[in-house]
Chains A and B, each alone.
Chain A
Amino acid sequence: MRETVERLREEALAAVAAAARPEELEALRVRYLGRKGELTRILRGLGQVPPEERPALGALANRAREEVEAAVASRLQSLREEEAAKRLSAEAVDVTLPGVGWPVGQRHIVHQVRREIEEFFLHLGFSIAEGPEVELDYFNFEALNIPRGHPAREAQDTFFLTDELLLRTHTSPVQIRVMRSLSPRLPVRVICPGRVYRRDTPDPSHLPSFHQIEALAVDRGVTFGDLRGTLELFARTIFGPATRVRFRPSYFPFTEPSAEVDVSCMCGGKGCGVCGGAGWVEILGAGMVHPRVLEHGGYDPEEVSGYALGLGVERTAMLRHGIDDMRLFLQNDVRFLRQFA
C-alpha cells in the first residue's frame, strides 16, 4: 500500500509539472484528487488496512494528497500568469506614437502681462479703476495741467471726435475721475489699466492704440522715496529679482518732480539690441502728482501729496519676452499667440 501511495504521488506530481493548459490540470485533479480519484480512493480504503498501520498510511496519503493539491494550484497560477503575459504582450502599442491633441486656448499676451502688473499693485493695496476710452478733452488734458496751446499736446498726437471729445491718449484722466469720486477720503491707492490711443502710423515700435497702466497714491506724507521703493519692487517682480532701477529727471505736465524710469537690461549691461548697448531700457514715466492736479482732483496740495506712474503694457511685454515688433500684438497670428500659453 505504502508503495502505491508513493508511486501515485510521484506520478501525479510529474503529470502536473508537465501539464500545459488549465484543462489538463483540472483532469489531473479529478483523476487523483476527485471524489473517485486514485489518492482519494486510498484514503477511503483505509478501513481495510490493519488498524496498527492505519495512522501511518493515513498520514502518508494525506500528505501526498496535499502535495498534489498544492502542485496543481501553483501550476495553475503560473499557467495563468504565462497566459496573461502572452495576451498583454500581444496588446503592445508603439509608445513613441504622438498622443492625442486637444484644443488649448490662452489669454492674449498683453492681457497676461496686464493682469500680472495688476496683481502686483493689488497686493500692495491698490484697487483697480476704469474709465471711458472716449474722453473729454477736459479730463485728458485740462485737468492734468495741459491747457490748450501747451507743447505737450503736440507731443501726444491725439485722435479727436469733436473739439471737446477725443480718444484718451493716456489713462491719466481716470486719476482725476477717481480723485473726484473719492475726495476727501484718504488714502487714494488705485491703478487705472486700459486702452489708449495715439495718432501714430503703425511700425515696429508704434501702434495707434496700446495699453497703459497708471498707478496713483495720494495720502499725507507720500514721498518721492516711496515712488522709488514702489518701482524697485515692481521691477524686481516683473523683470526678475536681479533687476536694478534708474531714475532720470524728465517732464510731464501732471507731475513735478517728474522722472523717466529705466530698468537694467536683461543682457546684464553687456549691450544688446534691446538696450542698444546702454545696459538700461526705459520702461515708464512717473513723478509726484502736480499740486494743480491734486486741486483738480479735489485735494489740498498743502495737506496731501501723491505719486503717479504710468507704463505701457505692450512695451513691458516686448522687453520681457524679447518681442521686436509691436504690430504682432494686433496681428493675432495664432503661432504668435500660442507661444505664450
Chain B
Amino acid sequence: MRVPYGWLREFVEVPWDPQELADRLCLVGVKVEAVHRLDYPLERVVAGRVTAVAVHPAATGLRVVTLEVGAGSPRQVVSGAPGMAPGDLVAVALPGAMLPGGRKVEETAFRGVTSEGMICSATELAIGAHPVQGEGIVKLPTGSEPGRPIAELAQIGEATEWVLELELTVNYAMHCQSVEGVAREVAALLGIPWQPRRPQVIEQGESVETWAQVEITDAELCPRYVLRVFHDLVPGASPVWMQRRLHAAGLRPIGVVVDVTNYVMLEQGQPLHAFDYHRLADRRIVVRRARDGEELVTLDGVSRRLDSSMLVIADARVPVGLAGIMGGLDSEVTAATRVVALESAHFDPATLQRTSLRLGLRTEASQRFSRWVDPEGTARAADRAAELLVAVGAGRVAPGSIDVCPAPFRRRPVHLRPGRVASMLGVDLQPHEIADYLGRLGFQTAGTQDGYLVTVPSWRADVSTEADLAEEVARLHGYNAIRATLPRGVLSYGVRPARQQAVDRVVEILVGCGLSEIMTSAMFGPRAFDRLRLEPGDPCRRALRLANPLMEEQSLLRTTLLPGLLEVMSHNASHRQLDVGLFEAAVVFLPGRDPEDLDGYRLATTGGDLSPWVREELRLSLGMMGNRAPAHWRGGGRVADFFELKGVVEIAGERLGWPSWRFDPSDHPTFHPARQAWLLVEGEKVGVLGELHPDVQEAFGLERACAAELELARLLGRSRAEVAYRPLPRYPAVLRDISLLVEATVSADRVAEVIRRSAGALLDRVTLFDVYRGPGIPEGTRSLAYSLVYRACDRTLTDAEVDAVHLGVREALVRELGARLR
C-alpha cells in the first residue's frame, strides 16, 4: 500500500514532515517500509491544443505540430510521437521547463525546423508509463484550457510529492488499506476528532430504479450491495491530478471511469466495480453462488471454471463478474460505454480469500475484500465515485442508489475491565484515560458495573476481545512509555536438558580434537542416495517426502547426515581448502507408520507424541581430508586417513566412557570396501566409519577423504556427575615388551585380547608401538610389538612374579595365535 503524503493531508492536518510522520506511524503499528520522493515538472509546462500536424520535410518519423498554448500562440513543436490529430489536448513543456531527471527544455532545431518546446509523455510528466498510450503522449481531458499551467490542471501545489510505502500486518490491513484509514490513525494519534467526509452528489435524469434491479440470493456471502448508475459518459483520460495520484499510489491510469473507481478504492478502501450497463441482460444484477461448471472469461482474458463455493455477480442469465475479485471481459467498460452500473458491496472475507486462492487470482480488490472492508462504507464510496465523476466532467449520475442489505452489520460490544487492562500492561492508567484512548480510535464506551461496554467501529473487524482493546490502549499510550520491569514471583532455576548437556560434552571433545562444527540442510533429494552408492532396497532410502518441496533435490527429509557433510567437504575442496576436519550433531528423520493415517486432533489431545510416525534421531557425522595439521617448514602434517578419524572416535569413547565398544570390519557401500569399520557398543552397531569409496569421492570431487556417521543418542556416555575417582597408583610398575610375528590376517584386536586375558589382573596397560610388514619377514605375516605395563594396586611386584605372568602371555600368544616370538 502506497499513500501519497499530499493526499493524506486532504483528510487530516499533519504537523510533521513525511519522514517524521513515517516514524510516528511505525510506533503506532502502521509500518512504513520506505518514504519515496516524486518530483513533478511544474514550471513552464502548459496545456496545448493541436491545431495542425504536418510531416517533417527532411526527417521521416518526425512531425511538425502546431499548437495553441495561450499567450505566444501558435507554437511549432517537432515531435516523434504518432497518433496526434488536430483538436487533441496535450501537455507542452515550453523552453526553460525542467523535466524529471533535471533535463532542461530549450528551443532547438531538428533538421532545419525550429522546435519551440516539447510535447510531454507519461514519463516526462512523472505519471509513469501509460498503459494505453505507453511511453507516448499524455492526452489531457476535454476542457483543459490551452495555456493553463499543468500545475493548476493537476491541482498539485508543490513540485515534490512524498509517498509512504506501508507494509501492513494482517490486522492493520483490515483498516489501514486506504488513505482515509491512515488519516484516521493520524487523527487518533493527534487526538483530533475524526469525521468522514460526506460526498455531495449532483444527480440528473431518470431515477436509478428505472435503470436497474438488484437481487441477493446469499445474504451470508453478500450482506450488502449498493448500486449507482452513471449515464451520458464522456470517455477519455482522467485529469492529470488524478492520474498522478493513481500513479503515486502504484496504480496505472486506464480511463476516466475505471480511474474514478480506483481512486475511491485507494481513498476509502472500498473496491468498486463498473459494469457496462448495456451488457447486462434484463438490466438485472443477481448476486449468487456460481453453478458448478459455469464459466466466466475474466478481464484478464482467462476463461475460468467456477463452482458453487464461489460468489458471482450475474445478470439475468450468466455471471458477469467474480464477486470482489475481477469483472468479466464481456461487461468491461470501454471507450464505447455510455452507461455504467457501479457496484459498491460487502462480501464475506473468508469466501473471497478461498476463491482467490483457488483460482490463483489476486487483485487490489480481492486483497482488500479478503481482509476486511468497512460494511458501513459501501454507500458513501458509491456517492464519492458519483461526486468525482461529475466533478471531472466524465458523465452524469442517475438520482438515488439501490441499497440492498439483507444482513445489516451488527457491532459486537466487548467487555472491558480497565483495572485488568492496566495491570496486564503494567501501567498506571485511570479508567477514563483508557476510555479516552479508545474514543480517539473510534470506539464508543458505556460504563458498566465493573468497567465499560465497548462498541467496536465497523471498520475494526480485527478487534473482538479485551486483549485486543488492551493493545489499542497500549499503542496509543505508547509501547515505549511503559516502564520496564522484570518478572517477579517464585524464583526458578534454569535447567538445560540432560540430552543437550550430553551433546555439548561430545561437541566439546570434537572441538578439542580440532574439528570444525558445520550445519547442513535437513533436506535432500533422491540423487543423494545414488551418490552414496546405496542399493535400491537400502532402508536409508525410505525417507519422508515433502508435499510441496522447493525443488526435487530438496524434496526428502534426510535419513543420513553423510550427503550434507560430503557437500561441505566438496565445497571446501573446490575452494582449495584441503586440510579440513568437520563434524555435525543433528537429527535425521526416520519414517515409521504411514503419516496419511494420522489423526492430528486426536493425537494432539493425547500427548502429541509423533515418534511412531517420524523418529527424529540424533546423529553425529565426522569428516576429514587432506592433512590433520597444516603444512609447516619442519615437515608435512599427518595425513587425515582412516586411523586419524578412528583416533577421534576413540578419544570420544574413552572420555565419555562408552560401555564395551569395539570396531569390526564392515561392508557399507559408501566406503572403501577394505578400509571401513562398524563401531559396536555392547555388541550393537551404532555407526560406521571409513575412507570413502573411490566412486563416492569422485562424485563429490574429493581425494582420500574419510567420514563417519554415528548414532549420537547411543554414544552420549555417562554424565560427568557419574564419574568416580580412582586413586592414583601407589606402587611402581614393571615394564616388559613383546615382539611377535603373526599371520597378517590375525587382527590387532585379537592379539590384544589374548594378551589381556592371559596376563590377567596384574596387567595395567598394553600399548601397540610398532607394526611392520615387508622385507625381512615372511610374506603374509606381520610383526607387532607391544609394551606391557604390570602393576599391582596393593604391593610392589617382584621380578619373579612378573616373569611368571609374562611367560604365560608369551606362551598363550604362541599357543592361540601361532605367533613367533622375536
Complex contacts, A38 vs chain B, CB 8 Å? none
For B516, give its contact among A122, A135, A256, A338 (CB under 8 Å): A338
A136 touches B548 (CB 8 A): no
Residue A152 interfacial (CB < 8 Å): yes
Type the 1/0 row for A110-130, where 1 means its CB is closer than 8 Å to any CB of B: 110000001001111111111
Known: A107-B517, A249-B471. A100 touches B604 (CB 8 A): no
Q: How far is the CA of A11 from the CA of B511 in the complex (A)?
A: 72
Contacts of A222 in B (CB 8 A): 487
A81, B479: Cα distance in complex, Å: 79
The answer on a CB contact under 8 Å between B485 and A226 is yes
Quick check: A256 and B517 within 8 Å, CB to CB? no
Q: A122 contacts B496, CB within 8 Å?
A: yes
Report chain A residues within 8 Å CB of B425. 223-225, 257
Judge whether A50 is part of the interface by a CB distance below 8 angstroms: no
Mask: chain A, 225-256; 1 = CB below 8 Å from B; 0 = not? 11011101100000000000011111101001
Q: Is A149 an interface residue (CB 8 A)?
A: yes
Chain A residues near B371: list those with CB within 8 A: 151
Residues of A within 8 A of B515 (CB): 103, 105
Give Cα A224 to B513, complex, Å: 46
Q: How large is the interface on A (under 10, 10 to 19, 20 to 34, 35 or more residues)?
A: 35 or more
* A164–B600 touching, CB < 8 Å: yes
Task: Determine whether A199 belongs to the interface, using a CB cutoff of 8 Å to chain B.
Answer: yes
Instruction: Fill in one digit per residue for B410-432: 1 if any A CB lies within 8 Å of its CB, else 0.
Output: 00000000000001111100000
Chain B 440-473 interface 0/1 with A at a Cβ cutoff of 8 Å (1 = within): 0000000000000000000000000111101100
How far is B566's CA from A332's CA once the two chains are assembled, in angstroms?
A: 11
With a cutoff of 8 Å between Cβ atoms, the chain A residues found around residue B474 in the complex are 224, 249, 257
- Interface flag for A88 (CB, 8 Å): no
User: Which chain A residue shows the least CB distance to B476?
Assistant: A249
Contact partner of B598 among A164, A232, A248, CB < 8 A?
A164
Chain B: which residue is nearest A112 at the CB level? B517
B725 within 8 Å of A (CB atoms): no
Q: Is A291 an interface residue (CB 8 A)?
A: yes
For B575, list chain A residues within 8 Å (CB): 333, 335
For residue B547, which residue of chain A has the nearest CB?
A160
Q: Mark A202-224, 1 if CB is under 8 A from B, else 0.
A: 00000011000000010111111
Of residues 151 through 176 on chain A, the ones whose CB sits less than 8 Å from some CB of chain B are 151-152, 155, 159-162, 164-165, 167
Instruction: Say how far A44's CB is from chain B's closest CB, in angstroms.
Output: 52
Q: A229-B486, A230-B487 are in contact. Are A159 and B520 (CB under 8 A)?
A: no
Q: Do the beta carbons of B518 and A225 come within 8 Å of each other?
A: no
B27, B492, B582, most chain A CB atoms within 10 A = B492
Q: From A15-23, A27-35, A137-145, give the one contacting chain B.
A: A137-145
Does the CB pair A248–B568 fall under 8 Å?
no
**B822 on the A face (CB < 8 A):** no
A332–B517 Cα distance when bound, in Å, is 9
Chain B nearest CB, measured from A293 CB (Å): 10
**Is the CB–CB distance between A291 and B465 below 8 Å?**
yes
Residue of A nearest to B169 (CB): A251
A209 and B546 in contact, given A162-B598, A248-B31, A256-B465 (Cβ under 8 angstroms): no
Does A258 sit at the interface, judged by CB under 8 A?
yes
CB distance from A313 to the nearest CB of B (A): 10
Query: Are B27 and A248 in contact, with the CB atoms below 8 A?
Result: yes
> In the bound complex, how far is the Cα of B550 from the Cα of A199, in angstroms?
7
B550 pairs with A136, CB closer than 8 A = no
Contact indicator B572/A333 (Cβ below 8 Å): yes
Q: Do B29 and A248 touch (CB < 8 A)?
A: yes
Give the bracket for the number of chain B residues in contact with chain A.
Answer: 35 or more
Whether the pair A105, B571 counts as a contact (CB closer than 8 A) is no
**Which of A208, A220, A224, A229 interacts with B550 by CB under 8 Å?**
A208
List A contacts of B475 (CB < 8 A): 249, 257
| Bound Cα distance from A239 to B248, whole angstroms | 39
Interface string of B526-561 (1 = CB under 8 A from A): 000000000000000000111111100010010000
- CB contact under 8 A between A257 and B521, given known A103-B514, A138-B600, A160-B547: no
Most A-side CB within 10 Å, residue of B28, B31, B572, B608: B608
Residues of A within 8 A of B29 (CB): 248-251
CB neighbours of A228 from chain B (8 A): 479, 482-485
Which of A159, A195, A197, A201 has its CB near the most chain B CB atoms (within 10 A)? A159
Residue of A nearest to B473 (CB): A257
Given the known inter-chain contacts A208-B554, A223-B425, please indicate yes or no for A127 contacting B571, CB distance below 8 A.
no
A308 within 8 A of B: no
Output the residue of B370, B510, B546 with the most chain A CB within 10 A: B546
Residue of A97, A128, A130, A249 near B479 (CB, 8 A) is A249
- Say yes or no: A332 contacts B485, CB within 8 Å: no
Name the residue on B nearest A189 (C-beta). Answer: B492
Contact A128 B495 (CB under 8 A): yes
Chain A contact residues: over half helix, strand or loop, or mixed?
Answer: mixed
In the assembled complex, which residues on chain B have CB atoms less than 8 Å from the CB atom of A108? 516-519
Instruction: Say which residue of A111, A125, A180 sits within 8 Å of B491 (CB atoms).
Output: A125
Q: How far is the CB of A196 from chain B (nearest CB, A)?
A: 11
Interface residue ranges of B626-682 to A (CB < 8 Å): 628-630, 632-634, 637
Tell me if A128 and B497 are in contact (CB < 8 A). yes
Asked whether, in the complex, the Cβ of B170 is within 8 Å of the Cβ of A106, the reply is no
| Chain B 493-526 residues near chain A, CB threshold 8 A | 493-497, 499-500, 507, 510-523
Q: For B500, what are the chain A residues with a Cβ–Cβ distance below 8 Å?
A: 128, 130
CA distance A222 to B517 in the complex (A): 39
Among listed B62-70, B610-618, B747-755, B800-808, interface-contacting one: B610-618
Which residue of chain A has the shortest Cβ distance to B545 in the bound complex?
Answer: A161
Instruction: Indicate if B601 sits at the interface (CB-CB under 8 A).
Output: yes
Which residues of chain B have C-beta atoms less than 8 A from A189's C-beta?
Answer: 487, 492, 494
Complex: A222 Cα to B490 Cα, angstroms = 12
Structural contact, B580 and A98, CB atoms closer than 8 A: no
B589 within 8 A of A: yes
Contact B517 A122 (CB under 8 A): no
Taking the nearest CB of chain B, how far is it from the CB of A210, in angstroms? 10
Indicate whether B596 reaches chain A with its CB closer than 8 angstroms. yes
Cβ of A331 under 8 Å from chain B: yes
A256 contacts B471, C-beta separation under 8 Å: yes
Which partner residue on chain B sits nearest A193 by CB separation? B500
A224 with B496: CB separation less than 8 A: no
A258 to B470, CA, bound (A): 10
Q: Do B485 and A229 have beta carbons less than 8 Å apart? A: yes
Nearest A residue (CB) for B585:
A111
Asked if B634 and A187 sit within 8 Å, CB to CB, the answer is no
Contact among B169, B486, B519 with A230 in the assembled complex (CB-CB below 8 Å): B486
Name the residue among A106, A164, A189, A246 with the largest chain B CB count within 10 angstroms: A164
Least Cβ distance of A142 to chain B in Å? 8
CA distance A93 to B734 in the complex (A): 39
User: When chains A and B are docked, how far (Å) is the Cα of A217 from the Cα of B554?
Assistant: 36
* Known pairs A121-B494, A162-B547, A186-B490; A97 contacts B603 (CB<8 A): no
Q: Across the interface, do B548 and A199 meet the contact criterion of CB distance under 8 Å?
A: yes
Query: Which of B31, B507, B568, B633 is in CB contact (< 8 Å) with A332?
Result: B568
| B544 and A248 contacting across the interface, CB-CB below 8 Å | no
Give the residues in chain B near A126, CB-CB below 8 Å. Answer: 492, 494
Given contacts A122-B494, A126-B494, A330-B520, contact A223 B424 (CB under 8 A): yes
- Beta-carbon contact of A103 and B629 below 8 Å: yes
Q: In the complex, A139 Cα to B600 Cα: how many Å? A: 9
Q: Is B488 an interface residue (CB 8 A)?
A: yes
Closest to A290 in B: B467
Contact with A259, one of B171, B479, B511, B604 (Cβ below 8 angstroms): B479
Further 7 A-B residue pairs, CB within 8 A, beyond A127-B496, A161-B595, A247-B480: A105-B581, A111-B519, A139-B604, A152-B170, A187-B490, A189-B494, A225-B426
Rank and list the top 9 A-B pairs by shortest CB-CB distance, nearest first.
Answer: A103-B514, A225-B426, A249-B29, A223-B426, A257-B471, A122-B494, A164-B600, A251-B169, A247-B479
21 A-B contacts, Cβ less than 8 Å apart? A100-B629, A102-B629, A105-B516, A127-B495, A128-B496, A128-B500, A130-B500, A133-B522, A134-B610, A136-B610, A186-B489, A199-B548, A222-B487, A224-B425, A224-B474, A224-B479, A228-B479, A229-B485, A247-B479, A251-B171, A330-B521
